[in-house]
Every structure is written in C-alpha cells, then in structure tokens.
Structure 1
Amino acid sequence: MSVHDELMSVQRCLDDMSRSVNRLEQQLGRGGLDIRRVRTDCEHLRESVALLREATHASPSARRPELVTISDAPYDYSLWTDSDDEGLGARDRHAP
C-alpha cells in the first residue's frame, strides 16, 4: 500500500471512531470527564493525521536536503596559519 492509501485508511478509521464517540455521547451524556477526554483525544488524532498528510504532500526538496559535494583536493594551508592544531598545540611548541 502507498502512503496515500494508508493515510486514507487511517482517516476512515478516525471517521468511524468519531461516529462511535458521538453515539456514546448520546447514550452517556456530554458532561462526563471520560467522554470529554475521549472526544478530545479523537480530535487530536484527527489533527495529527492532517499534519502528517501535509508533511507527505510537501515537495521532495523540503524533505531531503540538497547534497553538497566536498572536493578531495587538499585545503589551502594559508587558511590555517593563525590557528593551532587541535589537541596538538602550536607548531613551534612541543606537546606536554
């Protein structure tokens, strides 16, 4: 199954769950803390799936950063004349 098909399946399940919660609310009443918590969780799941759907529809360049080629040529040593070799100390001094 493709991602789109899976998301549609999840959406159908959420729709079924929402209908079931509506029926429970009619039978139990809306005032109970438990049914309100289930309703809120159902809405959060619906929002999360919507965010996931938006993320999957984003352009491929938004999902994968562009690769940068790094040359195998040696660096210009003049760039490093004023720095110490990390962990080794300065060139004109000995390590302890």
Structure 2
Amino acid sequence: MSVKDELTAVQRCLDDLDRAIGRLEQHLGKGVLDVRRIRTDAGHLRESVALLRAGRGGPADPPHAGRPGLQQMVPIPDAPYDASLWQDADDEGLGCRDRRAP
C-alpha cells in the first residue's frame, strides 16, 4: 500500500471515530469531561493527518473537516483600522493620551 492509500485509510478510520464519538455524546451527553477529551484528541489526530498530507504534497483536508460545531477561520486584513474608532479610548495600561505613563 502506498503512503497516500495509508493516509486515506487513516482518514476513513478517523471519520468512523468521529461518528462513534457522536453516538457516545448522544448516550452520555456532550458535557461529560471524558467525552470532550476524546473529541479533542480525535481532532488533534485529524489535524496531524492533515499535516502529514500537506507534507507529502497531497491535498490537505481543512483542519475542521468532519468536525461539526466548529467554525472556519476568518481572515483578518492587514490594513490598519480606522483611527476614528479609537478617538475616545485611552491606551490601555498607559494612562490618558495627554499625560505621561508612570
């Protein structure tokens, strides 16, 4: 079996694991600490497989693929914010603008 096939098999197993964890959550409840811990560990495994795929030059799955309830990342532009938003705000931790910081 090639590495690509192995990674695909691991991905299928992780999908099965996610479904099994979902069934556990239905029986035990989402708030149970151990179930949340298993969900988090499965997410880490999914991210590791995505990194392996990306490192091998194959298509990487989005980190949150197959993980319901998680939101996608939102890009934040590098352009500076409008200065008028901060007219009445003090620099946090530095005191007022017209006085010197201690």
Aligned to 2:29: 29
Between structure 1 and structure 2, the one with the greater Rg is 1
For residue 33 of structure 1, what is the amino acid of its counterpart?
A: L
Aligned to 1:47: 47
Matches within 5 A, 1:61-72: none
For residue 15 of structure 1, what is the amino acid of its counterpart?
A: D
Q: Deviations over 1:21-61 (max 9, x none)?
A: 00000000011110000000010100000000000117xxx
CA distance in 2: counterparts of 1:31 and 1:13, whole angstroms: 24
Aligned residues: 58
Percent sequence identity over aligned pairs: 66
CA distance in 2: counterparts of 1:30 and 1:13, whole angstroms: 22
Structure 1 runs of 4+ aligned residues shifted over 4 Å read none
- In the alignment, structure 1 segments of 5+ residues that lack a partner are 59-96
CA distance in 1: counterparts of 2:12 and 2:6, whole angstroms: 10
- TM-score, normalised with respect to structure 1: 0.59
**1:57 counterpart SS class:** coil
Aligned to 1:81: none
**2:16 counterpart SS class:** helix
- In the alignment, structure 2 segments of 5+ residues that lack a partner are 59-102
Higher fraction of helix: 1
Matches within 5 A, 1:1-20: 1-20=1-20
- TM-score, normalised with respect to structure 2: 0.55
